[in-house]
């Protein structure tokens, strides 16, 4: 997937006013399972990192490449048969290259792994989730870009976020969500240097989430940043929501509103992902 040649909310001249209306994604099901919510959020997380130049390739390719490098390094650690001097030099050179590439990617991949594991644990602990916030920038209060994802009918039944296999529904919703963000102008106006990705989830304040998530009461970020709102609506009653209903859902869960009058708050994941300069992995 190439980077979109469109504009992004959060700063810069000549961009469209993205904060005026929500991006709607319809899920053809009464609700999303924990594993489906996790897959959709992970796909959007990878999309945001890639489109804002924080990783050099799409997340799935990066994961496959890193796993392949780790496997190759493990094989190279085993005793090798006697080689000719010329072959030994090639072998040693390749071993150094693999070690260097692992070292460049290791902090990023460990951060992604920790964040995803924490998100899976959190989803397994909660009976419902109202939204997810993806923030790109140096700090939470002064972000560069904000993606506010609201999930209607986000009440879970049985099932774990760590289920094996990806359902067709999860694949369909994640594809729709990414296409909708691209069509809405996500990605081209971007910060070129490495920065951080923060993840927050919106849940009832009475929940005891794992220690990986910390409550952020009355959380607000700079009003200068125009968030891109997305509403994932489940077809609970067999009738599609109209724009007024979607807007009311988003208004109720807006991260800039006071949370003291609500029974839900934002919880911040303590694991952040720091991007890589894209040129650092070009070989």
C-alpha–C-alpha distance, residues 174 and 183, integer Å: 14
| CA angle, residues 207, 43, 194, in degrees to nearest 5 | 95
Question: pLDDT by residue (tens digit) across 192-240?
Answer: 688 999 999 998 877 677 688 988 888 888 888 889 999 999 875 544 4
Which residue numbers in the chain have pLDDT < 50? 1-20, 238-250, 252-261, 280-283
Residue 12 lies in a domain: no
C-alpha–C-alpha distance, residues 228 and 223, integer Å: 13
DSSP type of residue 80: P
Residue 9 lies in a domain: no
pLDDT of residue 116: 95
pLDDT of residue 236: 59
pTM of this structure: 0.79
Residue 4 lies in a domain: no
Question: pLDDT by residue (tens digit) across 21-34?
Answer: 678 999 988 888 89
pLDDT of residue 255: 40
Residue 252 lies in a domain: yes
pLDDT of residue 187: 66
Residue with the two structure tokens 């990605």: 187
CA separation (Å) from 38 to 99, 160, 166, 229, 262?
31, 10, 10, 18, 25
Residue with the two structure tokens 């609700």: 31
Residue 10 lies in a domain: no
Residue 84 lies in a domain: yes
State which residues form the domain around 200.
Answer: 18-281
pLDDT of residue 48: 92
Tokens (6 digits) for 184? 């809405």
pLDDT of residue 279: 56
C-alpha–C-alpha distance, residues 127 and 159, integer Å: 11
| Reduced DSSP (H G I as helix, E B as strand, rest coil) percent helix, strand, coil of the chain, to 5 | 40, 15, 45
pLDDT of residue 21: 60
pLDDT of residue 184: 82
Tell how far CA 104 is from the center of its chain: 21
Angle between helices 59-77 and 85-125 (to 10 degrees): 130
pLDDT of residue 190: 63
Residue 214 lies in a domain: yes
Q: How many CA atoms lie within 13 A of 177 on its CB side?
A: 30
Alpha helices (H) in 133-242, listed in sequence order? 168-183
pLDDT of residue 91: 86
Domain harbouring 151, CATH code: 3.30.900.20
Q: What is the CA radius of gyration of the chain?
A: 21
C-alpha–C-alpha distance, residues 136 and 146, integer Å: 6
Domain count, the chain: 1
Residue 182 lies in a domain: yes
Residue with the two structure tokens 């693999």: 98
């Amino acid at each position: 997937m190439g980077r979109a040649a469109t504009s992004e909310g959060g700063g810069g001249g000549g961009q469209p006013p993205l904060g005026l209306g929500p991006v709607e994604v319809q899920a053809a099901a009464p609700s999303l399972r924990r594993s489906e919510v996790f897959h959709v959020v992970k796909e959007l997380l990878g999309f945001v990192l890639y489109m804002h130049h924080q990783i050099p390739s799409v997340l799935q390719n990066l994961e496959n490449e890193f796993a392949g490098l780790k496997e190759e390094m493990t094989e190279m650690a085993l005793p090798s048969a006697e080689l000719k001097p010329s072959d030994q030099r090639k072998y040693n050179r390749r071993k150094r290259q693999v070690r260097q590439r692992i070292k460049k990617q290791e902090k990023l991949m460990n951060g992604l792994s920790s964040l995803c594991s924490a998100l899976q644990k959190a989803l397994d602990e909660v009976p419902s989730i109202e939204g997810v916030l993806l923030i790109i920038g140096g700090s939470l209060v002064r972000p560069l870009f904000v993606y506010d994802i609201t999930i209607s009918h986000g009440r879970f039944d049985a099932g774990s976020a760590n289920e094996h296999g990806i359902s067709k529904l999860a694949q369909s919703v994640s594809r729709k969500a990414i296409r909708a963000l691209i069509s809405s102008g996500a990605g081209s106006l971007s910060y070129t240097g490495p920065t951080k990705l923060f993840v927050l989830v919106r849940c009832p304040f009475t929940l005891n989430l794992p220690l990986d998530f910390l409550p952020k009461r009355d959380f607000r970020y700079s009003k200068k940043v125009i968030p891109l709102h997305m509403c994932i609506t489940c077809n609970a009653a067999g009738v599609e929501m109209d724009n007024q209903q979607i807007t009311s859902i988003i208004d109720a869960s807006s991260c800039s509103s006071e949370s003291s009058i609500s029974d839900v708050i934002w919880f911040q994941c303590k694991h952040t992902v720091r991007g890589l300069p894209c040129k650092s992995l070009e070989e």
